[in-house]
Amino acid sequence: MAKEKKQVEQITDMEVDFAKWYTDVCTKAELIDYTSTKGMFILRPYGYAIWENIQKELDARFKETGHVNVAMPMLIPESLLQKEKDHVEGFAPECAWVTHGGSEKLEERLCVRPTSETLFCDHWSHIVHSWRDLPLLYNQWCSVLRWEKTSRPFLRHREFLWQEGHTLHATAEEAIAETEQQLETYADLCENVLAMPVVRGQKTDKEKFAGAERTYTIECMMHDRKALQGGTSHYFGDGFAKAFDISYTDKENKLQAPHETSWGLSTRIIGGLIMTHGDNRGLVLPPRIAPTQAVVIPVAMHKEGVLAAAEGLYERLKAAGIRVKIDDSEQSMGWKAAEYEMKGVPLRVEIGPKDMEKEQCCICRRDSGEKVFVPLAELETEVVRLLDEVHNGLYERAAKNLADHTYPAFSLEEAKQIQEEKGGFIKTMWCGELQCELDMKEKAGMTSRCIPFVQEHLADTCPICGKPAKHMIYWGVAY
C-alpha cells in the first residue's frame, strides 16, 4: 500500500511520538509558524481564523451578560505593578521590561503587561465613587507577554492572544456569582462549540492565581491523557481594591471597598482543541469553530459540466450560511482529499459525472471517514445535520476518553502506579494541606488539577497523610 503510506508519512503517528505529532499538526495544517525570536509564534491565517471564531462566540456571550470591551495600555509602570504584593511576586519572574524610550533611559521602567489587573485597578480608582457606578463589567481582547523559559505552539507562547475580563462589584456574593457565571461561559464554549468535555472545579491555594482569593478552572483531558487548563476565573475579594485605593460610597453614605474578579481564556485552547480531536491524518476541527466547515471538490473536473455542478453546490451551501470553500485547483482527487483531512475540514462534498447522473453528491465526514451519498435536493439539510453529527461524535469520543481515564485511588502508591501505567485524572480524597500536594508532586509527579464542583465521597481520610479528608480532588500531569 505505497499510496496509503504516502498519505500519512507527513505527520508522525501520535502513538510513536505525541509531541512530534502535535508540532507536525500545528505546522503542516498551516496553523502556526516559528519566528526568529524564541517563544514568539505566528498565527497563520488558518490558525488565526480559528481564534477569530472563538472570539466571535465568546464575545457574543460576554455581551449578552452585560460586559463591555475596553482597551488598556500595553505597558505597566513598575510602581503600579508592585502595589499588590502576591500579584507582583507571582508575575515578576516572567516580566519583560521596557527601559528605554528611543535612546534615553526611562525614569521608571515599564513592564510589558503579563496580565492587566493593575491597570484596571488603577483606572477604577479614578472613576469609581458611588454604589451607582457598580458593577463594572469589562473585558479586553489583547495580547500579553510572559517570559517563559520553554515554549510550545499554542500551549505556551511568550506572547499570546487572549481575552481578560475584569469586573468590580459592590458585594462579595455578586463578585463570586460573576466568577462562577464566567467559568460556566467557558465551559459552554468548550462543550457546545469546541466539543471538549471539561471538569469544572476550584484550584487549591497552591495552584491559584497570584493575588486571588479563589480560582475556578475548567480542566480538559488531552488525547495523551495529560491535563490542560482550558480557562480560569478568579475572585479577588477586596484585596486589590484596598491595595489600589478603590472605594465607593454605599447607600448609607459609608465608604466601602468593592470586590473584584478576573477571568481569561487564551489561544492555548487551540492547542487543547488539536490534542483533543486530532488523529494520525492531522487536524480534526469541530464544525462550529472550523474556518471552513465544508469543502466542495469537483471530481473528474475536465468532464463536461462537473465544474459548474460543483460551483452550484458551493453557491447553495454559501447561501445556506455554511462556511464553505470550493477547490477547483488542478490537483488530483487524492491529493485534495488528503489535504483537507490534514487541515481538519469537517465535511468534504464531492461531485463527479456519476453523481450528476444520479442527482447526488458524496459527503465524507472527517471525524469518522464515513461516506454518504446525498440527493442533491437534500444538500443543505444534510450538510447542516452532518455538521451537528460531527460535533456530537467528537464530543462523545472526547467524553469517553475523559471518563475512561479518570480513576479513583486510595493511596499515594496506587495513584502513582495508575498515572505511570495509564495516565489521566486520578481522583482521591484530600485533607486540604499543602504538604500533601507537595508529596504528590514529588513522589507521583502529579499536581492537583482541581477540586471538582461535583464531589464524590470516596473515603473518610486523605490517602497521603491519613488525616480526615475535606474534599475529593483531581490529580494529573498538566501541560
Chain positions contacting RNA, by CB under 7 A: 3, 6-7, 10, 19-20, 22-23, 34, 36-39, 90-91, 93-94, 114-115, 144, 146, 148-153, 156, 162, 207, 209-210, 229, 232, 264, 266, 281, 299-302, 330-335, 337-339, 341-342, 348, 350-356, 362, 364, 369, 371, 441, 445, 447, 478
Greatest distance between any 2 Cα atoms in the chain: 82
Please give the DSSP secondary-structure letter assigned to residue 453: S
Residue among 156 and 318 whose Cβ is closer to RNA: 156
Contact 348, 338 (CB under 8 A): no
Residue among 121 and 342 whose Cβ is closer to RNA: 342
Residue among 23 and 461 whose Cβ is closer to RNA: 23
Residue among 351 and 418 whose Cβ is closer to RNA: 351
Closest distance of CB 94 from RNA, Å: 6
Closest distance of CB 354 from RNA, Å: 3
In the three-class reduction of DSSP (H, G, I as helix; E, B as strand; rest coil), residue 459 is classed as: coil
Closest distance of CB 247 from RNA, Å: 26
What is the spatial distance between Cα 461 and Cα 257, in angstroms, rounded to a whole number?
Answer: 39
Closest distance of CB 460 from RNA, Å: 30
Closest distance of CB 363 from RNA, Å: 10
Please give the DSSP secondary-structure letter assigned to residue 15: T
What is the spatial distance between Cα 184 and Cα 176, in angstroms, rounded to a whole number?
Answer: 12
Closest distance of CB 339 from RNA, Å: 4
- Centroid of chain to Cα 460: 35
Residue among 243 and 310 whose Cβ is closer to RNA: 310
Number of H helices, E strands in the chain: 15, 23
What is the spatial distance between Cα 168 and Cα 328, in angstroms, rounded to a whole number?
Answer: 53
Closest distance of CB 200 from RNA, Å: 15
Residues whose CB falls within 8 Å of the CB of residue 210, separated by 6 or more in sequence, listed in order: 86, 87, 88, 89, 90, 91
Residue among 329 and 411 whose Cβ is closer to RNA: 329
What is the spatial distance between Cα 427 and Cα 434, in angstroms, rounded to a whole number?
Answer: 17
What is the spatial distance between Cα 64 and Cα 130, in angstroms, rounded to a whole number?
Answer: 25
What is the spatial distance between Cα 381 and Cα 263, in angstroms, rounded to a whole number?
Answer: 38
- Nearest partner of 476 among 414, 424, 401, judged by Cα: 424
Residue among 45 and 93 whose Cβ is closer to RNA: 93
